[in-house]
Amino acid sequence: MFAVTVSFTVADEFVNDFAALIEHNAAASVRDEVACQHFDVCTDPSNTSLFFLYEVYDDAAGFDVHLASAHFKAFSQASAHMVVAKNITTFQKVTAAHA
């Protein structure tokens, strides 16, 4: 399991446009990428310009496929001018605990 978190701060005037773009990217990722297990798009209710993504892939290679996909490249190009700040963190599974 390979998890990716991304936080975006988006310029206020582009919040709605960015939301539409990232929602399309997330849906295409889950639908079209075999290794994409999960892709959540979240916003902070008190700061709608802050977006948080939580993505889960089978492995790092699956995330590389995501980065090379046409839908990701289209999203990245279309949203670049909207983003004020971006932070990406990746995590690899160490262990799992179940109740």
The whole-number pLDDT of residue 95 equals 76
pLDDT of residue 87: 98
Rg of the Cα trace of the chain? 14
Per residue in 3-62, pLDDT (tens digit) is: 999 999 999 999 999 999 999 999 999 999 999 999 999 999 999 999 999 999 999 999
Per-residue pLDDT tens over the stretch 74-97: 999 999 999 999 999 999 987 777
Q: How far apart, in whole angstroms, are the C-alpha atoms of residue 43 and residue 31?
A: 22
Contact status, residue 29 vs residue 39, Cβ threshold 8 Å: yes
* Residue 55 placed within a domain: yes
Range of the domain at 51: 2-92
Residue 98 falls within a domain, yes or no? no
Alpha helices in the chain (DSSP H): 15-32, 60-68, 70-79
> What CATH number does the domain containing 14 carry?
3.30.70.100
